[in-house]
Amino acid sequence: MHVTVRMFAALREAAGLDQAQWELPEGATVERLIAELRVSRPGLEAGIDRARIAVNRRYAAADTRLQEGDEVALFPPVSGG
């Protein structure tokens, strides 16, 4: 199955891309996607574990199962002052 992965701010810079089409096996979870991104984009290692994840514009947990055509967005942690 194919999903669209979108990255924002520092994650986008670390990965060197803002959007990608990603192929995963049927029944894959957000956790599986993150593991694959970690291997294919080593620059993400520092921030990906703290990223907020949304699937189709709703925050999602690591065990969320992905479906064909889903959009997964990765947001780095933010702080304010």
Range of the domain at 41: 2-75
Query: Total domain count for the chain?
Result: 1
The reported pTM is 0.90
Confidence of residue 62 (pLDDT cuts 50, 70, 90): very high
CATH for 55 = 3.10.20.30
Residue 42 has pLDDT above 90, yes or no: no
| Buried b or exposed e, range 37-55, using 16+ CB within 10 angstroms | beeebeebeebbeebebbb
The residue ranking higher by pLDDT, 65 or 39, is 65
For residue 55, list its beta bridge partners: 58, 72
pLDDT at 81: 54
